Amino acid sequence: MRKKCGRMGASMKQARKKRLVLFDIDGTLLDTHGFGREAFIRGLARVTGERDGLDYVSFAGNTDRNVLDQVMAERGLRLDAADIERIFSWVAEELRNLLGENPAKEIAGARGFLDLLAAKGAALGLVTGNIRACAYLKLGSVGFDRFFRFGGFGDDHPEREKIARSALAAAREAGLGPEETAACLVGDTPFDVAAGRAVGLPVIGVATGTYGEAALREAGASVVAPDLTEAGRLWAWMEETLG
């Protein structure tokens, strides 16, 4: 009887799905000193010829495409696809210059958490409001780009929920569909939580940005942590929750 139970246990272990962990970037993994906003201001000015401080736009939990939509509505700008491509190209170039002078700062525990997940064989992806080029510039400034092969980005859609769906589609293309993986999302704003819940993912809320633990719980985060230093506890939660 013991041998039979052992075989059953081994079979259950073999059937366990690979973990897929999708990350927001700004405020979750990195502090980029507000360079995202400044790069956007500079990139926009390169094309429109006017500097706009964007005081009417909140970047926390926002997406680059939605920011541009807000600017267009506020200023009555008419931009075609070529204009938008030029703006985003300049935004990336300005961000490159800013990060070259002052690289991003790692959020407490971020590197250790990514190292742990990689060591455990988890697949890592992105759900970020950054356009793809800016996302990898930010990650690359501290060497985090090596962890992420795919994701959903701010040039995919203006809505974060659709960006999350893009990330899951990219995961499927990489052979990491729902049949092979058990997924969750990690973010620092209620917008991240809402996006994860909208696509059926449990969400780890980290109070490392502008929102506290209470706000993340109220938004519906499945588990909340003050930062990413509690890597062991968060992994244990994944093991218990994701199945």
Note the pLDDT of residue 10.
Answer: 44
Cβ of 180: how many Cβ atoms within 10 Å?
14
Domain contains 2: no
Note the pLDDT of residue 243.
Answer: 74
Do 67 and 187 lie in a common domain?
no
Q: 């999350």: which residue's tokens? A: 164
Note the pLDDT of residue 11.
Answer: 44
Note the pLDDT of residue 1.
Answer: 47
Q: 């970020």: which residue's tokens? A: 128
- Structural domain for 194, as ranges: 9-32+105-242
Do 197 and 212 lie in a common domain?
yes
Do 86 and 129 lie in a common domain?
no
Do 21 and 83 lie in a common domain?
no
Do 185 and 237 lie in a common domain?
yes
Note the pLDDT of residue 136.
Answer: 98
Contacts of 216 (CB under 8 A, 6+ apart): 188, 189, 190, 193, 205, 206, 207, 224
Cβ atoms of 160 and 126 within 8 Å: the answer is no
* E-only strand ranges, the chain: 18-23, 30-31, 105-106, 123-127, 151-152, 181-187, 203-206, 223-225
Do 121 and 235 lie in a common domain?
yes
Do 67 and 162 lie in a common domain?
no
Domain contains 4: no
- 225 three-class SS: strand
Do 79 and 138 lie in a common domain?
no
Note the pLDDT of residue 144.
Answer: 98
Domain contains 3: no
Residues of the chain with pLDDT under 50: 1, 3, 7-13
CATH of the domain at 237: 3.40.50.1000
Do 156 and 229 lie in a common domain?
yes
Note the pLDDT of residue 15.
Answer: 64
